[in-house]
Amino acid sequence: MHSFQVRRAFGAALLSVVLAFLAAVQAPVASAVSCPDVEVVFARGTSPRPGLGTVGTAFVSSLKWKLLGKRVSYYAVNYPASWNFSKSTNAGAVDANKHVQYIAGMCPETKIVLGGMSQGAGVIDLILIGNRTVWFFKPVPLPDAMVDHVAAVAVFGNPARDVYGGGPLTSISPLYGNKAIDLCADGDPYCSRGLNFFAHFAYTRNGMVDEAATFAARRVLGRDA
C-alpha cells in the first residue's frame, strides 16, 4: 500500500511538471501570432545598407504619428539593392511578394501598406502591374486576392514613371492604381527628364514623405485620400 501511494505521488508530480512545461512552450506561440493593425512593406533604393533606407524610415515614422493608437510594424524588403538592376529588382519583387502573402495569410485583418524608393519603387511596381512588362524587368504579380489586404501604396522617385517608359504606378497598375501615390520631385532625373540629381535625395525634406504618409493613413482609416 505504501509503495502504491509513493508511485501515485510521483505520477502526480510528474504530471504537474509536464503541464508546466507545456504552458511555458505554448505562451510564446500565442504571443508570436499577435498581429499589428498595419504592416508597412518598404523597399529601399540603390546602395544603402539593408533596412528601410532614409526615405522608408521617415515614411514609417510619419505614418506612425498619423495613426496614433494603432500598432504599426514594418518589414524591410530583403534584396541586394545593387546596380545590377534587372536581377536585383526582380529579387526584391520576389521577396516582397512572399512577405505580403505571408502577412495576409497569418494576419488577415492587418492592413498592408506598400512603399519603395527609387529602385525600391521598381520592386513595388513589379508586384502590382500584373503581367505587363516594363523594359527588361520581369513582373512578379501578387495574386488578385491580395488586393483586399493592401490598403495603400506609396512610391518615390519611381523610374517606371518616365525613364523606363511605363508611367506612374497610378496608371500602370490595374488593381492597385487607385490605392497608390507615386511621387516624383521636380527635376529628379530618375523619374522624370529633369537634370537635378539633388532632387532625388530631397524627399525627406521637400514634404513628399509627409504627403505620402497622409495619403496612406487616410486609406488605412477608410477615408478616400
Is position 149 within any domain? yes
Instruction: Clarify whether residues 73 and 6 are in a common domain.
Output: no
What CATH number is given to the structural domain containing 196?
A: 3.40.50.1820
Q: Which of 95, 125, 162, 188 is catalytic?
A: 188
Is position 124 within any domain? yes
Residue whose grid cell is 537635378: 196
Residue whose grid cell is 518589414: 75
Q: pLDDT, tens digit, for every residue of 155-204?
A: 999 998 875 657 899 999 999 999 999 999 999 999 998 899 999 999 99
Give the burial class of 224: count Cβ atoms within 10 A of its Cβ; 0-12 exposed, 13-18 middle, 19 or more buried.
Answer: exposed
Asked if residue 58 has pLDDT above 90, the reply is yes
Instruction: Clarify whether residues 17 and 114 are in a common domain.
Output: no
Instruction: Clarify whether residues 150 and 115 are in a common domain.
Output: yes
Instruction: Clarify whether residues 153 and 51 are in a common domain.
Output: yes
The pLDDT of 210-225, averaged and rounded, is 92
Q: pLDDT, tens digit, for every residue of 89-138?
A: 999 999 999 999 999 999 999 999 999 999 999 999 999 998 877 777 88
> How far, CA to CA in Å, does 45 sit from each of 35, 107, 171?
27, 27, 22
Residue range(s) defining the domain that contains residue 16: 1-34
Give the burial class of 9: count Cβ atoms within 10 A of its Cβ; 0-12 exposed, 13-18 middle, 19 or more buried.
Answer: exposed
Q: pLDDT, tens digit, for every residue of 17-41?
A: 333 443 443 433 333 459 999 999 9
Active-site residue 73, yes or no? no
Instruction: Clarify whether residues 59 and 138 are in a common domain.
Output: yes
Q: What angle do CA 144, 84, 166 make, to 5 degrees?
A: 45
Number of domains in the chain: 2
Longest alpha-carbon distance in the chain: 95
Active-site residue 200, yes or no? yes
Is position 225 within any domain? no
Instruction: Clarify whether residues 14 and 107 are in a common domain.
Output: no
Ranges 46-50, 75-79, 215-219: which has the least confidence? 46-50
Instruction: Clarify whether residues 45 and 16 are in a common domain.
Output: no
Q: Which of 95, 173, 182, 200 is catalytic?
A: 200
When pLDDT is cut at 50, 70 and 90, the band that residue 83 belongs to is very high
Active-site residue 2, yes or no? no
Residue whose grid cell is 522617385: 157
Helices (H), 77-207: 85-106, 119-128, 169-172
Q: Which of 118, 149, 162, 192 is catalytic?
A: 118
